[in-house]
Amino acid sequence: MNTVVMEQRKKIHPHKFTLWIAIAGMLMMFAGFTSAYIIKRNQAKWVSFDLPAVFWFSTAAIVLSSITMYMAQRSFKQRQMARYRSLLTATLILGVLFIVMQVLGFKQLWNAGITLTGNVSYSFLYVIVLAHAVHVAGGAIALLVLFLKAFRTKVKSYNSVPVEVMSTYWHFVDVLWLYLLFFLIMIR
């Protein structure tokens, strides 16, 4: 009996496995986007542009949200539920702040004439960053669900798998944003 329990502990949870498969797919998609960007930037009509400063502030927000998510996960595992709830709340607020600042950044770009139809370089920017925004929005929705569950009073569940899955995904979109930001700055 003890051997069976030990073997089951070595297996990865199906939700975690599914997340890692999804992350691999997203990595391939963004690798394709950035590879196409590199190839297309050698065209004669390619236009370089600077990103608005608000993107740096949004980067600070998502990095801080990743830190608070890590701390929330630790608090959950230590069953410090009040601390978990406050850190999860901070993560959600910082995630929403990231999204708001991204919208403001794109509004600045749009007002500067950097639109979807202006140039192929502009189109690549919108496709790459908006694809990331969709993934962040999905993460924010999942954070909201986790947040609502954390404040439920009826059922107390200490299953850490949903928190671990959310934490892994949130760290992924954070690291992905850092990659995309530095890519867009360095490869013009």
Domain membership of residue 103 as a residue range: 16-33+50-186
CA-to-CA distance for 173 and 21, rounded, in angstroms? 15
Predicted pLDDT of residue 50: 86
Predicted structure pTM score: 0.87
Cβ-contact 77, 128 below 8 angstroms: no
Predicted pLDDT of residue 138: 94
Q: Is residue 8 part of a domain?
A: no
Q: Is residue 85 part of a domain?
A: yes
Predicted pLDDT of residue 12: 85
Cβ-contact 100, 108 below 8 angstroms: no
Task: CATH number of the domain at 176, please.
Answer: 1.20.120.80
DSSP calls for 106-167: HHHHHHTT--TTT-HHHHHHHHHHHHHHHHHHHHHHHHHHHHHHHT-SS------HHHHHHH
Q: Is residue 43 part of a domain?
A: no
The ranges of the chain with pLDDT < 50 are none
Q: Is residue 92 part of a domain?
A: yes
Q: Is residue 176 part of a domain?
A: yes
Q: Is residue 125 part of a domain?
A: yes
Predicted pLDDT of residue 156: 67
- Measured in residues, the chain has a length of 188
pLDDT in tens, 169-185: 999 999 999 999 999 88
pLDDT in tens, 57-91: 999 999 999 999 999 999 999 989 999 999 999 99
Predicted pLDDT of residue 2: 61
